[in-house]
Amino acid sequence: MKHIFPIILIFAVILNGCKEIGPNVQFGPPSDLGDRVVVIEEFTGAQCVFCPQGTEELENLLVLYPDNLAVISVHTGFFATPIANKSKYDFRTPAGDALNTFLGTPDKGYPSSIINRKQFPGETSLHNVAATWAGYLGQEVALQPKMGLNVIPVYDPATRKLKVTVSGIARESISSPLRVTVLLTESGIVDYQKDIRFGDLPEYIHKHVLRTILSTNFEGDIIAPSGVNAGQTVNYDVETTLPLVWKAEKMEVVALITNGNSKYVYQAAKKKIE
Amino acid sequence: MKQIICFKLLVLTVFSFSTQLRLSAQESSTGRLSGSFQANVNFFQRDSAIGAANTPGYDRQLLGNESWLNLDYSNWGFDMGLRFDLFNNTNLFDPLGSFNGLGIGRWYIRKKVGKFQISGGHIYDQIGSGLIFRAYEARPLAIDNALYGGKVAYQINDNWQVKAFSGKQRNVFSVYNQVVSGAAIEGFIPGNAENTWSLSPGAGIVMRTYADATMNQIVAAIETYTPIDSFVPNYNTRAVTLYNTLSMGNFSWYVEGAYKTEDVFFDPFEERNNWNGSVTQGRLVSRPGNMVYTSLGYTTGGLGIILEGKRTQDFIFRIDPFVNQLRGIVNFLPPMSRVNTYRLTARYNAATQEIGETAGQASIRYSLNDELSFGVDYSQIMNLDLDDLFYREIYLETNWKPGDQWNILGGIQHQWYNQFIYEGKPGDLSTITPYADIQYNIDDTKAIRTELSAMFTGRVGSAQNRDYGDWLYGLVEFTIAPHWTFAVADMWNFKPARINANTGNKERPIHYPRADIFYATGPSRFAFSYIKQVDGIVCTGGICRYEPAFSGFRVNMQTNF
């Protein structure tokens, strides 16, 4: 028993310890943001009861980073099956299913997001749970982009033809091959959505729904097979005709310049079609 | 192909290593090599009628497997071991996804030096009942949160020992960033000369320190919050526990209280004020937590009584606040509902609520004589304010053994199950489940057993949820000892209450058949099964997770050597 009291004393010391110096937290909306544009690919579905909360988180982040964030909602997998006798639309697309294969199936449940197609330290895949999105986005936004990127959509309402021009310039030399991916999203689509809090929502407004990938390859088309030197420009054009059911005025084109090996997104750009 | 070659090389390496060890053991005549092997193979057969579809396994991979080869060796006063883990297109980690990986899943070395015992590598251990720290493995749920670090234990005297450890928690084939350190003292105090009472007290402390990368992530998340929701997080969280078992005559009383200092965790129910003016649910918070658990047991003659109680408040203790489901759990919170084994009585389980619950449980067993015994169990789990019922279970059981050939067990179970809390589905569900388990021993080697049960849902009080509806279950098992067991079973959703997701019509009655062949020889056991299994919450040792429907064949092999 004579050992007990010193041990209890040691426990007490460990418990109290020394006062730590906490991290520096900047309260308030972010400021001094550069032109870095981060892409979040959200994996979601009409039958995913927790996904509306994920969407709310993304909308909140878009308020904070209106010019620095591009959101793509990928309806794919188990939870993206339309709600029988309720859903008007099936948001699943070959493009979404291809991304599911190319980027990996969510391994931590839905909703799940991939941020700049980067596997963050400690994560087991590219996928991240909702609680992490803000933190990872903050980290990525703070980085200086290695590429400047611009996307220009030219849309003719009469013919519904859309031409997208992507132009980029390297701010640093990159030795890896570069790919460009052009994606189309549509917002403002009213349809059923399951919600853990409210049940089936008939008037739910779906946003940033991935409609298609315009690039020839889902993983992006090679535009610089051996990388680029600082100051070197890259250009890419693609054309399509929009189906009648898509509302051009609610559509957005998102362009990504990615590392052809690691999938990492060096820079993104977004622009409304109309 | 590379993986197969890699695996073969590793198997060769492991076996050549084991051969060397055997030779060494033979040379020294003191070494001991032992091990175990387990392999599971799933052949996925798409069946959209039961929801076994739209996952990588059913859509394209068609086959997934996982296996573990464990080797332990003792010699020269050392204990050492390693485990090779193989995961190929497995849905074990995420039932809706797929995971691939292989490598050394565990290694350790342990040595006793006088009164000290020193361990290094992947360590499994716990303090008390695990409220503040438990490093353990639960393969069916893909939990393996071994501490990758070092541990020193010291035997103070015959009755007291102290231990200290430090390391990082295993994360599949890597580790999490955070450092976890802890210490505990445990002892035994004989009460009096007649040994009519004794105490087994203990105390422990655990400290988890956030790595800079994790803290940066936390800060980056908090910086997106409005000022009203923001806070300055701590790098360090400490959890302490005090526990004791009092044994007195026929009584045994265990009590444990734990406290956790302010800790950052994700509270899915906490309001969040957004920059666009909206208010949503779910954000990081920083709050202290506490927990009390007690268990009182009494046995005399044919009577056995166990009473348990538990109160949990903000006792989420994760390795970092961004891991979810069953990942990165530092501690273990004991369940407060009966661990059921029959197919229908085990269909709905009450997983521990880390953020807050108040729970109590009573279990009474009474044997009238050698032939007849009775059992009653009662569990109730509520919120902290005691005004919201999460779970209630009443379980009655009678066991009659008329002679050596017959064993007849039967009873009835009632559950009240808050589906929102446990499954994220609105409303409450109630069940009434009569069951019977009858075994007839034909002779010394042959026996036939049948399990029959029925589940009726949504018929009690306001718990009108019916989920899938009503069920019937039947199983017939024929055993030819010591090698063979054959079983066929059917779980029949005879009165469905769900709407079919594909057709939109009310579900038609669906059968979920199952057939198994088990073969045991010595320490080895093989199983070949055809399974159609409904989705639901699956629990192991009180830890639960959602498992989707399964359709296909399953092959299992286990052996010890």
Q: What is the pLDDT of residue A6?
A: 61
- CA-nearest residue to A199 within chain B is B426
* Spatial contact of B511 and B488, defined as CB atoms under 8 Å apart: no
B420 in contact with chain A, both atoms CB, cutoff 8 A: yes
Residues 292-321 of B with CB under 8 A from A: 320-321
Res B244 pLDDT > 90: yes
Chain B nearest C-alpha distance from A225 (Å): 26
Res B537 pLDDT > 90: no
Considering CB atoms only, which of B53, B96, B232 is closest to A23?
A: B232
Res B413 pLDDT > 90: yes
Q: What is the pLDDT of residue B193?
A: 77
Tell me which H or E stretch contains B114.
none
* Spatial contact of B451 and B437, defined as CB atoms under 8 Å apart: yes
| Higher pLDDT pick, B456 / A5 | B456
* Spatial contact of B110 and B79, defined as CB atoms under 8 Å apart: yes
B100 in contact with chain A, both atoms CB, cutoff 8 A: no
A30 CB neighbours in chain B (<8 A) are: 223-224
Res A108 pLDDT > 80: no
The helix/strand/coil state of B512 is: strand
Q: What is the pLDDT of residue A5?
A: 63
A31 CB neighbours in chain B (<8 A) are: none
Q: What is the pLDDT of residue B543?
A: 67
Q: What is the pLDDT of residue B460?
A: 85
Whether residue A135 and residue B99 make contact (CB cut-off 8 A), yes or no, is: no
Whether residue A63 and residue B548 make contact (CB cut-off 8 A), yes or no, is: no
Q: What is the pLDDT of residue B20?
A: 39
Residues 535-554 of B with CB under 8 A from A: 548
Residue the block writes with tokens 């051009």: A248
Cβ-count burial A190-209 (b if 16+ within 10 Å, e if not): ebbbbbbeeeebeebebbbb
- Number of CB atoms found within 10 A of residue A134's CB: 25
Q: What is the mean pLDDT of residues A106-127?
A: 86
- pLDDT interval class at B26 (50, 70, 90): very low
Res B25 pLDDT > 50: no
Q: What is the pLDDT of residue B195?
A: 77
- CA-nearest residue to A11 within chain B is B205
Chain B nearest C-alpha distance from A64 (Å): 7
B96 CB neighbours in chain A (<8 A) are: 77-78, 105-106, 109
Res B27 pLDDT > 50: no
Chain B nearest C-alpha distance from A210 (Å): 19
d(CA B482, CA B487): 15
Chain B nearest C-alpha distance from A133 (Å): 8
The helix/strand/coil state of A78 is: helix
Q: What is the mean pLDDT of residues B173-183?
A: 94
> Alpha carbon A250 to chain centroid distance?
18
Q: What is the mean pLDDT of residues A55-76?
A: 93
d(CA A162, CA A17): 64
Chain A nearest C-alpha distance from B19 (Å): 35
Whether residue A11 and residue B203 make contact (CB cut-off 8 A), yes or no, is: yes
| Higher pLDDT pick, A77 / A218 | A218
Tell me which H or E stretch contains A47.
none
d(CA A53, CA A149): 31
Q: What is the pLDDT of residue A8?
A: 65
Q: What is the mean pLDDT of residues A68-75?
A: 96
Q: Count contacts between A and B (CB, < 8 Å).
A: 179
Residue the block writes with tokens 């999460």: B390
Q: What is the pLDDT of residue A12?
A: 63
Q: B19-23: which pairs have CB atoms within 8 A and are 24 or more residues apart?
A: B21/B73, B21/B75
d(CA B467, CA B224): 39
* Spatial contact of B126 and B136, defined as CB atoms under 8 Å apart: yes
Report the mean per-residue pLDDT for chain B.
89
Strand runs (DSSP E) across B274-341, as ranges? 279-300, 303-313
Q: Which of A27-31, B93-97, B215-219, B240-244 has the lowest mean pLDDT?
A: A27-31
- pLDDT interval class at B547 (50, 70, 90): confident
B205 in contact with chain A, both atoms CB, cutoff 8 A: yes
B503 in contact with chain A, both atoms CB, cutoff 8 A: yes
Whether residue A108 and residue B176 make contact (CB cut-off 8 A), yes or no, is: no
Peptide bond into A82 cis (omega under 30): no
Q: What is the pLDDT of residue B17?
A: 39
Q: Of A112-126, A140-154, B86-100, B535-549, where does the model show the most confidence? A: A140-154
Res B506 pLDDT > 80: no
Considering CB atoms only, which of A23, A105, A132 is closest to B322?
A: A132
Q: Which of B271-280, B292-301, B413-422 has the lowest mean pLDDT?
A: B271-280
* Spatial contact of A114 and A99, defined as CB atoms under 8 Å apart: no
pLDDT tens-digit readout, A176-203: 999 999 999 999 999 999 987 787 899 9
B259 in contact with chain A, both atoms CB, cutoff 8 A: no
- pLDDT interval class at B464 (50, 70, 90): confident
B176 CB neighbours in chain A (<8 A) are: 122
* Spatial contact of B260 and B288, defined as CB atoms under 8 Å apart: yes
Res B8 pLDDT > 50: no
Q: Of A104-118, A166-180, B424-438, where does the model show the most confidence? A: A166-180
Chain B nearest C-alpha distance from A175 (Å): 27
Tell me which H or E stretch contains A56.
helix A51-64
Whether residue A105 and residue B55 make contact (CB cut-off 8 A), yes or no, is: yes
- pLDDT interval class at B519 (50, 70, 90): very high
The Cα diameter of chain B in Å comes to 76
Res B527 pLDDT > 60: yes
* Spatial contact of B300 and B292, defined as CB atoms under 8 Å apart: no
Res A15 pLDDT > 70: no
Whether residue A139 and residue B217 make contact (CB cut-off 8 A), yes or no, is: yes
Res B268 pLDDT > 80: yes
Q: Which of A109-123, B168-182, B404-418 has the lowest mean pLDDT?
A: A109-123
Cβ-count burial B457-490 (b if 16+ within 10 Å, e if not): bbebeebebbbbbbbbbebebebeeeeebebebe
Chain A nearest C-alpha distance from B514 (Å): 24
B504 in contact with chain A, both atoms CB, cutoff 8 A: yes
- The ipTM assigned to this model is 0.72
- pLDDT interval class at B30 (50, 70, 90): confident
Whether residue B324 and residue A20 make contact (CB cut-off 8 A), yes or no, is: no
Res B402 pLDDT > 50: yes
- CA-nearest residue to B501 within chain A is A84
CA angle (B477, B437, B540) in 5-degree steps:
85
Whether residue B96 and residue A78 make contact (CB cut-off 8 A), yes or no, is: yes
Q: What is the pLDDT of residue A1?
A: 53
B159 in contact with chain A, both atoms CB, cutoff 8 A: no
Region at B427 (left for phi over 0; alpha for psi -120 to 50; beta for the rest): left
* Spatial contact of A269 and A150, defined as CB atoms under 8 Å apart: yes
Least Cα distance to B155 among B112, B109, B206, B122 occurs for B112
Q: What is the pLDDT of residue B493?
A: 95
Q: What is the mean pLDDT of residues B484-489?
A: 95
* Spatial contact of B523 and B5, defined as CB atoms under 8 Å apart: no
Q: Which of B18-27, B50-59, B405-414, B505-514 has the lowest mean pLDDT?
A: B18-27
d(CA A247, CA A261): 35
Res B221 pLDDT > 90: no
Q: What is the pLDDT of residue B305?
A: 97
- pLDDT interval class at A50 (50, 70, 90): confident
Q: What is the pLDDT of residue A247?
A: 96
**What's the one-letter identity of residue A8?**
I
pLDDT tens-digit readout, B451-461: 999 999 998 88
pLDDT tens-digit readout, A19-41: 788 888 887 777 778 899 999 99
B64 in contact with chain A, both atoms CB, cutoff 8 A: no
